[in-house]
Structure 1
């Protein structure tokens, strides 16, 4: 009888702890969304344009990204007088690269895995804002240190099994780091981004500095120069053009 009571008590404790843990996850995500400006305000953003700059091996590079929320994205990168264009429109995507950068100079279809990965960037407000609608689940791994600061480590598992580890500041609830493995053209790569220099635009919070491992080695720092919310966009720019 004592053993039965002990087992029953143990189950109650475990169930209570699990419920409390789940509640903590919901509270953390709710505070994150509030810190980013709130779900209702993000829903009013239907389009966005962003200008960035960064350096790779001494080359100054500028980029312009145009987004229609949840649907389309186009990025234009200017390198040494040459333009690289990538665009997704729903489930289709294309890219245009000069011959000196491994392309043909003509529009080419984008690999399916890269389309899906690029399309994530159209989720304005970040992945935590709409993870439930997209069939993802999130668990709290624990509270850790990141560069000396307290962070909440969240593990997000998407419907297709893809895992992203998110590290949220325990004081501001901003996302300070995102990390996971991605399959690009048959190769598994580490996709890691560190976020900082947070600023507000019309009441919404954006990281103006992003650091990510560079394909050339070392770290690449991307600085945002300007952000425009709800600009008028000609959606034909996302369509794949014909060959010249």
Structure 2
């Protein structure tokens, strides 16, 4: 009987702990969404354009990133005055530029599916996350970048890696004053860095038309400094589409 009571107590403790963690994670995310501008303003967004710079080989490299509702997205680089589309999607096709041949190439079906699934989270994966089938779990307090943070495990719908459904998990670190994320951590799922951790940091939050964005980002050791953010930009649809390659037919030689 004593053992039975201990088992029941342990089950109750587990249930209560799980409920508290879930509630805490949800409260953190709710405060985050509210503090960056609120759900109503985020849902009204049709698109975001970010103009930023990064360092490449000692040179300042301009970068333009656009995200639109509906999964449309592109990242363009300006290298020595030449504009190059690093990657783009029109909501159906994902493609990128091969830097060896400087030719556009379509991504394979698996990468396309994963990217379109991620792009569908515009403008924020945590907005209405429960309705999307995502879950959040409060892990605990942890110091990040010298700041006490609340660590949240955020799980989205699985992605495919080599044909296998794989958990899509990210860890977010929210500072405790304004509940803004200052760091994220994910596990790299494919490629030569598979199994390694990829860390990003975000800082210098600034307000743009009532919504707060980080203007300083470090992704895997690469610094990005945002110069300007434009909300609901007007973008030419051709910028997202895979370039049409005209077939050139040589005229037969005249005799």
TM-score, normalised via structure 2 length: 0.82
Give the whole-Å Cα distance in 1 for the aligned partners of 2:190 and 2:18.
36
| Larger gyration radius, structure 1 or structure 2 | 2
* Corresponding residue number in structure 2 for 1:38: 38
Relative to structure 2, which stretch is displaced further, 175-184 or 121-130? 121-130
Q: Quick one: structure 1 residues 169 and 121, their matched pair in 2 at CA, closer, same or farther if it must change by over 3 Å?
A: farther
Give the whole-Å Cα distance in 1 for the aligned partners of 2:187 and 2:69.
25
Does structure 2 conserve the Cα–Cα contact (< 8 Å) formed by 1:84 and 1:95? Answer: no
Give the whole-Å Cα distance in 1 for the aligned partners of 2:147 and 2:95.
40
* Corresponding residue number in structure 2 for 1:216: none
Match of 1:107 among 79, 88, 104: 104
The alpha carbon displacement at 1:27 in A equals 0.8
Structure 1 alignment gaps of length 5 or more: 214-218
* Corresponding residue number in structure 1 for 2:144: 146
Does structure 2 conserve the Cα–Cα contact (< 8 Å) formed by 1:107 and 1:243? Answer: no
* Structure 1 residues 134-173: aligned runs within 5 Å: 134-160=132-158, 161-173=167-179
* Corresponding residue number in structure 2 for 1:131: 129
TM-score, normalised via structure 1 length: 0.85
CA RMSD of superposed structures (Å) = 2.3
Give the whole-Å Cα distance in 2 for the aligned partners of 1:183 and 1:243.
33
Does structure 2 conserve the Cα–Cα contact (< 8 Å) formed by 1:52 and 1:224? Answer: yes
Give the whole-Å Cα distance in 2 for the aligned partners of 1:243 and 1:190.
38
* Corresponding residue number in structure 1 for 2:164: none
Q: Quick one: structure 1 residues 243 and 68, their matched pair in 2 at CA, closer, same or farther if it must change by over 3 Å?
A: same
Give the whole-Å Cα distance in 2 for the aligned partners of 1:232 and 1:169.
34
1:132 aligned counterpart, secondary structure = coil
1:158 aligned counterpart, secondary structure = strand
Does structure 1 conserve the Cα–Cα contact (< 8 Å) formed by 2:68 and 2:122? Answer: no
Does structure 1 conserve the Cα–Cα contact (< 8 Å) formed by 2:21 and 2:139? Answer: no
The alpha carbon displacement at 1:74 in A equals 1.4
1:50 aligned counterpart, secondary structure = strand
Structure 1 consecutive aligned stretches of length 4 or more whose deviation exceeds 6 Å: none
Structure 2 alignment gaps of length 5 or more: 159-166, 247-255
1:84 aligned counterpart, secondary structure = strand
Give the whole-Å Cα distance in 2 for the aligned partners of 1:83 and 1:183.
30
* Corresponding residue number in structure 1 for 2:237: 235
Give the whole-Å Cα distance in 2 for the aligned partners of 1:239 and 1:14.
51
